[in-house]
Structure formats: structure tokens, C-alpha cells
A and B are shown apart, each in its own frame.
Chain A
């Protein structure tokens, strides 16, 4: 009886929409990292990801927008100028 239980792995069928979004966003972010470049890719990813994760009541678009633009720039400055580690430059040269 126990052996039968082991073979019966039921994967939960409840795949909710936004989980697919999260996974999809992540895959796009990762694949576009090199070609599009760090800054652009991160801005888009952060904005969309925060949008998807934030419950509707708390959605504060301007705040998310500022965060998603400021963060990559801050990180980029820190990494590239302060500690000299290159991050992928994309189509637009930054």
C-alpha cells in the first residue's frame, strides 16, 4: 500500500495566472540580461515584477516606477564605478 502511495505523485493542478507571470518574467529577465543590457532589463523586470506581486490595493505606480528606475542605476554605479566589475552593456551602450 505504501509503495502505491509513492508512485502517486499528484502535481497540483491549480496553476494560478500570476505564478506563470512570475516564472515567465524571470525567464525573460535572465534571457535578456546579456543582449538587452543590465540597466534596461532590470528596469523592466523590477517594474513588472513588483506590479505582479503587489496586491491591487497597495499598487502605487509612481513609487514602483521610481524604484524600478533608481535601483538599477544605483547598483550599476556601485558595481561599475566603485568596484570596477563590469555588468552587461546592452543594445544602447549602457
Chain B
């Protein structure tokens, strides 16, 4: 499928930006969307996390023949994100890094070992205050 077909297949409201197409994603539909992207021939690119007040904004990015398709979801404190690792093996490191950097918890994984941090280090290293040197 090309990018337009995939957008139509996934449904919802897409917004075009200079960097690609973005769509708000309900967390309970994330896994079915990821499976649809895999069936459609997309390539997983990256998972981005950024603080949004007390919450987090996460975006999963896929490439379809050079076009970026991004699914964005909000995460309230303490909530969990459904893991995509059983659908996309390439997501494994992205999820582990999201836990290292922002202490994001993923459900459906056997475990989420640290990627950049050492065993036993507290996750959420990028949440450390700006006064910390």
C-alpha cells in the first residue's frame, strides 16, 4: 500500500505537516493500527516521547516510501502503553529507551530491561530537573 492507502485504511483524522502526516491515536487502537501498518508494508522508524505538562506525548513514526506517518498519543501519569514489540521486533529498543529516558511503562512485554542505563539504575533519566548538573 502507498501512504495514502494506509491513511485511509487506518482511518481517523490526519493532519499534513512539512514533516509528514500525523494522526491522534487512541491507545486501545494502537496495536491494531501497528498491525495494519505492518501488513501495508510500512517501516517502523522511531518512537518519540516528550513531556507535556504533567503528562507525556508519545509518537510512533513509520515510513512508507519516503512519507512519514506518525501516530500520536497522550499518556497520563502512571498509565501504561501497550507494547508493539510482538508485532514489530524493531520497536524493542525504542520502548526500552523510552523507559530509560522517561520512565514510560509498557504492558504486554515479558520485561523491559534497561537499554542505555545499567541494571538497577532508576528509569526516567531525562526527567531529571534542569538544575541537576
Partners in one complex: no
**A contact set with B: CB distance below 8 Å:** none
**B contact set with A: CB distance below 8 Å:** none
